[in-house]
Structure 1
Amino acid sequence: MSTLLGDTAGPDLDLLKAVNGLADSAPSWVDSTVAWLGEYGLLLGLGLLLAVGWLQARRRPDAPVAVAGLLWAPLAVALCELANLPISAIVDRPRPFVDHPELQVLVQGKEGTLSFVSDHSAMAMGLAIGLYLVNRRLGLIAGVLAVLQGVARMYVGVHYPTDVLGGFALAAAVVLLLAPIAMAVLVPFTHALGRTALRPLVIAAPRRTGRRRIERDLAA
């Protein structure tokens, strides 16, 4: 089946070759590090940021709403992955190294899989946008990691730039467009969860440093 995007031979391919070509002069340890980061490391970093955001959200005055927003981020990523199944099948775009064997492929196991859109890029940007909606500072850091994720996928030779941009666009559409519906369901859920024995997952216990200081002053 012919692909909708075709065999890219313009700026898309030129940018891919420019990024992938950096591996020619890079030490082998750099290539292996970028390959690991592009497959696992950056997503793990985003997961860590999400955990930090959750710890901070539990101490906010609007904790149930903030926690609901953070819960939406991974759920949105799951929806992105489901949405990508028919998209990738319809576009039917092979990996860039299939039509361009001169590219350096630094990760294994991608043969026979499709290129558009980039799952890794969609997951990374979905987590970044979801986190930004709750915590802008952490969200901006996550956004940088998401961009690096896309660059890493080109560096290792498994995605065109438009695959990466497509992943970013898919993530943004799912996270932002479905957020009102998701929050309408998740906010009541987190409020209800806060009234159960699982309350610490939603609302952190109040700090007692002020009380201890008063008790210490009275004792003195």
Structure 2
Amino acid sequence: MDVSLLYEINALARHAPGWFDRGVALVGGYGLPLAMVLLVLWCWRGARRQDETAAAESFAALVWAPLAAAVALLVNVPLRGFVARPRPFVLHEGLEVLGGMSGGPGAGYSFVSGHATLMMALGVGVFLANRRLGLVGIGLALAEGLCRVYLGVHYPTDVIGGFALGTAVVLLLAPLAMAALTPLVRALARAPRAGRLVRAGERVVARPVELAQRPAESDLAA
């Protein structure tokens, strides 16, 4: 089923125009990761507008997201060597291989997908900070996984394994990571200048009593 699904998804590349294939390769290689980075920045912008407690927790989750992605990628290094699964285009003929890969020694191993691992770890990390934006991030990760199979460089199970690895690292280590990061973020928020990374500057708003007194004061002055 894994191989048949690979052929079915990759077969779309043979019937699609060349510009579309190049677009998928560009989106999968650069567009979706860039969109994920922008999503993290947008989530950080919204987190700074929250109250002090919520802002610290959201900021800690956003710090944990890239750290968890890095940990997941490090775990993937020995995992790939242990499984030692060749790329699909090495074992199967008739695949439309896009994205500049070939069947040479530089092709590397296939399980699990590093792109899928990275994107899902970031998406789930954003979900810990903001549920709505996190769903968008998970959607970006799913799109990235589909692109990897479309390009013929990964089996579907490589992508599913990457999703599972990225999610597991984020969620399993999140309690420990948040317990360590949240106090640090709260201390950072109290710093005069660095605190703006965590919380936006508060606006000075006149109280209703002050607004009511202003016209009277102006009349006395006249």
TM-score where L is the length of structure 1? 0.89
Detail structure 1 runs of 4+ shifted over 2 Å in the superposition: 109-112, 210-220
Aligned to 2:27: 37
Please give the alpha-carbon distance, in whole angstroms, between the structure 2 residues aligned to 1:108 and 1:198: 43
Cα separation, 1, equivalents of 2:75 and 2:113: 12
Matched, 1:149 2:144: yes
**SS at structure 1 position matched to 2:107:** coil
Q: Give the drift of 1:64.
A: 1.1
Look up the equivalent residue of 1:170 and give its one-letter code: L
Determine which of 61, 64, 68 is the counterpart of 2:60.
68
> Which segments of 5 or more consecutive residues in structure 2 lack a partner in the other structure?
none
Amino acid at match of 1:172: T
Corresponding residue number in structure 1 for 2:156: 161
Q: Distance in 2 between matches of 1:214 and 1:182?
A: 45
Cα deviation for residue 207 of structure 1 reads: 3.2
Q: Percent identity?
A: 48
Q: Pick the aligned partner of 1:199 from 182, 195, 207.
A: 195
Deviations 1:7-39 (A, max 9, x none): xxxx00111111111011111111111101111
In terms of fraction of residues, the more helix-rich structure is 2
2:22 and 2:194 mapped to 1: Cα distance? 42
Residue 159 of structure 1 aligns to a residue whose secondary structure is coil
Structure 2 residue 19 is matched with structure 1 residue 23? no
User: Which residue is 1:173 aligned to?
Assistant: 168
Q: Does 1:105 align with 2:97?
A: yes
CA apart distance, 1:215: 7.8
**1:184 paired to 2:179:** yes
User: 1:112: how far off?
Assistant: 2.8
Structure 2 residue 42 is matched with structure 1 residue 46: no
Distance in 1 separating the partners of 2:172 and 2:30: 27
Give the Å deviation of 1:69: 0.7
- Judging changes above 3 Å, is the alpha-carbon distance between structure 1 residues 19 and 212 closer, same or farther for their aligned structure 2 residues? farther
Could you report, residue by residue, the CA deviation over 1:58-89 in whole angstroms, capped at 9, with x for unpaired residues?
11122111100111101100001100001000
Shift of 1:142: 1.0
- Greater CA radius of gyration, 1 or 2? 2
**Alignment counterpart, residue 124 of structure 2, candidates 96, 118, 129:** 129
In structure 2, what is the Cα distance between the partners aligned to 1:58 and 1:185? 20
Q: How far has the Cα of 1:216 moved from its partner?
A: 7.9
TM-score, normalised by the number of residues in structure 2? 0.89
Residues 75-122 of structure 1: CA deviation (Å, up to 9, x unaligned): 100001100001000000111000113111111146431100000001
Structure 1 regions of 5+ residues with no counterpart?
Answer: 1-10
SS in 2 for 1:72: helix
**Partners of 1:157 and 1:131 in 2: CA distance:** 29
